[in-house]
């Protein structure tokens, strides 16, 4: 029986890139996709309309929806919206594909094709895994990422090859307890997902990917992000249980809600 796979595309001010991301859903990957959702986190550009116009021209063969968050929940909050959607609609897996067109969903085809993804709770895009290729990525950022990969590997006691690329595959089986709800809503959400791998003994595999930096606009303030990341790694290392029980959100949203702004099923 075919697995029910949801593709989740988080979008925030990706007007230039979102059309290219939607183009990625064509070709060989189509046969694995059951549905795709774009979760617009209150973008201030014209990305939402650009996405809708593109979807109208597509012949995807599966439903595509554009959801709009009721508040700005951050990247982590958009993940929570999508994970909850996947659980509530009985999907087996969620593929996360960032709307800024840095990653290629086709890099997941090998593990989908040979069924390897079924052996793990998650398959994570690894920009620094063997066989990966970085396009337009500075040597300084590459070095910084490699250093933090080592720090996180020591912190969690597992080999970590990427703190959070924009291409990941998760089994909804591992998400059903919704342990992620108190994780930060900002860009450090993916780091907490790595802490969860260790604390909840989840199985995982890093897959090689092609990663591009072209016309994307980064929302990362590097010095602040690096300091936050280091503090998290140290805190987790010296007190795993306490760390995972803490509500790490700056703003405590009661719920993470979105509305369907457009659907090919209407």
Q: What is the pLDDT of residues 235-254, one digit of tens each?
A: 999 999 999 999 999 999 99
122, β-bridge pairs:
170, 204
Whole-number Å distance between alpha carbons of 256 and 258: 7
Q: What is the DSSP letter of 201?
A: T
Residue 37: per-residue pLDDT: 99
Whole-number Å distance between alpha carbons of 50 and 52: 6
Residues of the chain with pLDDT under 50: none
**Is the separation of the CB atoms in 216 and 12 below 8 Å?**
no
**Is the separation of the CB atoms in 84 and 178 below 8 Å?**
yes
Residue 222: per-residue pLDDT: 75
Q: Where are the domains of the chain?
A: 5-253
**CATH code for the domain defined by 5-253:** 3.90.550.10
Residue 251: per-residue pLDDT: 96
Residues 6+ apart with CB under 8 A from 179: 196, 200
Q: What is the pLDDT of residues 46-80, one digit of tens each?
A: 999 999 999 999 999 999 999 999 999 999 999 99
Whole-number Å distance between alpha carbons of 85 and 44: 24
Residues 6+ apart with CB under 8 A from 137: 127, 211, 213
The tokens describing 29, both together, are 């990957």
């Amino acid at each position: 029986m075919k697995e029910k796979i949801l593709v989740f595309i988080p979008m925030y001010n990706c007007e230039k890139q979102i059309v290219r991301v939607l183009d990625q859903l064509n070709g060989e990957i189509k046969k694995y996709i059951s549905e795709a959702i774009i979760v617009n986190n209150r973008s201030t550009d014209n990305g939402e309309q650009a996405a809708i116009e593109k979807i109208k021209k597509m012949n995807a063969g599966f439903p595509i929806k554009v959801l709009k968050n009721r508040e700005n929940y951050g990247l982590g909050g958009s993940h929570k919206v999508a994970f909850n959607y996947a659980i509530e609609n009985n999907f087996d897996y969620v593929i996360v594909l960032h709307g800024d067109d840095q990653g290629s969903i086709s890099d997941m085809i090998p593990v989908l094709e040979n069924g390897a993804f079924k052996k793990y709770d998650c398959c994570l895009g690894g920009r620094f895994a063997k066989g990966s290729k970085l396009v337009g990525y500075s040597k300084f950022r590459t070095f910084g990422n490699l250093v933090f990969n080592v720090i996180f590997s020591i912190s969690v006691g597992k080999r970590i090859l990427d703190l959070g690329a924009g291409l990941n595959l998760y089994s909804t089986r591992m998400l059903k307890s919704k342990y992620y709800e108190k994780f930060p809503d900002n860009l450090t959400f993916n780091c907490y997902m790595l802490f969860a791998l260790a604390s909840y003994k989840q199985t995982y595999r890093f897959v090689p990917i092609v990663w591009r930096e072209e016309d994307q606009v980064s929302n990362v303030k590097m010095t602040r992000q690096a300091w936050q990341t280091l503090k998290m790694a140290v805190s987790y290392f010296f007190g795993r249980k306490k760390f995972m029980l803490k509500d790490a959100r700056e703003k405590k949203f009661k719920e993470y809600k979105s509305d369907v702004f457009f659907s090919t099923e209407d």
